[in-house]
Amino acid sequence: MADLSLQHTAIPGLLRLTLPVHGDARGWFKEAWQREKMTALGLPDFGPVQANQSFNADRGTTRGLHAEPWDKLVSVAAGRIFGAWVDLRPGPGFGRSVSFECGPETAVFVPRGVANGFQSLAPDTVYTYLVNDHWSPAARSSYAYVNLADEQVAVPWPIPLAEAIVSDADRTHPRLRDVTGVPPRTTVVLGANGQLGRALRALLPGAVALTRDDLDLGDPAAVAGYDWRGVATIVNAAAYTAVDAAETNAGRAACWATNVTAVARLVEIARRHRIHLVQPSSEYVFDGTRRSHPEDEAPAPLGAYGQSKAAGDALVATLGDRYHIVRTSWVFGDGRNFVRTMEGLARSGRPARVVADQTGRLTYAPDLAAAIVHLLFVQAPAGVYNVTNSGPVQSWADIAADVFELCGRDRGDVTPISTEDYVAGRAGVAPRPRNSTLDLDKLAATGFEPVPARRRLAEYLA
């Protein structure tokens, strides 16, 4: 009896498993699906939700070649088959085929977009497969097919197709030259009109960019009704960020609805459809008492906004290995932000009074977007990653003085003030962490080196 083992094939992602079959005079037993053992060998944790069986009464029954919009794990429960697989995913491997004989001792993991076919080599053959999406009539529109007799693929069927039992539908599938293939799963960017959303759209031109008008995350029916089947990754750049307004009764409710309730809906969507969720977060989840905040620091938010972000992060972290929480601070980019406000004062000749006892680092939105794309590209382990620009820790007053200087004004035109002076006479000002500096070592360990903030500030103002 062979040990459980996994072998790669000539088609990327198509995996062949050898299964231990325990037999005696009564018959045999095998573990057709054993999540812990198989994933330890390298099988994707693909989350099957439906089990199917195909009974084939006669030798020579031939089915396929079908590529479905889900992953599946196939094996033989009785008899033997000759299996054939053809890569119908766009790219250099399109049309590549693999074939071999399978009995109860073999299982095959078939990734989305790879066509599957088989021919029974014995009567009363039972072919079984687990899939990670529920079949529906609508799903059939996402299938791709290639003809069993295609001359380019040239599957060496043991029983000639002229002598095989083949359905009329399978006999009329298109030749490979006429097959468009199964497109890769897409990335969806939510909050596509914000500073981060716009930067992501520039780096991910093939992504589906959705604004609130396209998909209202506050509408449960709209979220549930969106077609998530072909989505691989969601980057949720939608957020409530009005920190002071979040301290009002109406603002607190709106903040929680966007940053927690809507995130909970996305988490369930991601769980159900095996989607990777990227959730930007904020240094406001901390109280600012540490000089530098590492990723594993326990949240201690001071205000309603920070509390909502910490709650949203906790929900996203339940997704196991399918999430990245990207924590950032002091974002500036294409939109309203502190740097633009200071630039407006500087260019209009007016002075500025700016808080000098809150410190941290700026984050340029395109660099934040680039870090997110990097984490996805290198398949960084799931978890929390801090992302800001690099360089010295500064106060808001320091940054304002930099802006004035870069605009040709005197740095002395920026008057440093205390937080107490800033809030004096103002109602509804949210508490802010005094220290917003985020530790960047974990990000650097993935191979991403942030650009110094001063350089990005100069480029931005130029």
What is the CATH number that goes with domain 5-178?
Answer: 2.60.120.10
Given a contact cutoff of 8 angstroms between Cβ atoms, the answer to whether 235 and 370 are in contact is: no
pLDDT at 135: 83
pLDDT at 182: 85
- Give the position of tokens 């009002």: 248
Rg, Å, the chain Cα set: 28
The residue among 187, 277, 264 whose CA lies nearest residue 224 is: 264
pLDDT at 424: 85
pLDDT at 1: 62
Same CATH topology for 5-178 and 186-461: the answer is no
Q: What is the pLDDT of residues 7-55, one digit of tens each?
A: 999 999 999 999 999 999 999 999 999 999 999 999 999 989 999 999 9
pLDDT at 384: 98
Q: What is the pLDDT of residues 326-350, one digit of tens each?
A: 999 999 999 899 999 999 999 999 9
Given a contact cutoff of 8 angstroms between Cβ atoms, the answer to whether 419 and 432 are in contact is: yes
Angle at 437 between CA 436 and CA 442, to 5 degrees: 130
Distance CA 417, CA 425 (A): 14
pLDDT at 180: 87
Superfamily for domain range 186-461? NAD(P)-binding Rossmann-like Domain (3.40.50.720)
The edge-to-edge listing of strands for the beta sheet with 231-236 is 208-210, 186-190, 231-236, 276-282, 323-328, 383-386
Q: What is the mean pLDDT of each run of 10 residues along the chain (462 residues)?
A: 90 96 92 95 92 96 93 96 96 95 96 96 96 82 91 97 96 94 90 95 94 94 91 96 93 96 96 94 95 95 96 97 96 94 96 95 97 96 97 97 96 95 85 95 96 96 93
Q: DSSP letter at 177?
A: G
Written as six digits, the tokens of 26 are 């009564």
Active site residues: 66, 129
Q: DSSP 3-state assignment of 312?
A: helix
Query: How is the chain split into domains, by residue range?
Result: 5-178, 186-461
Helical axes 195-203 vs 365-377, angle rounded to 10°? 50
- Residue by residue, DSSP assigns 192-247 as TTSHHHHHHHHH-TTSEEE-TTT--TT-HHHHHHS--TTEEEEEE------TTGGG
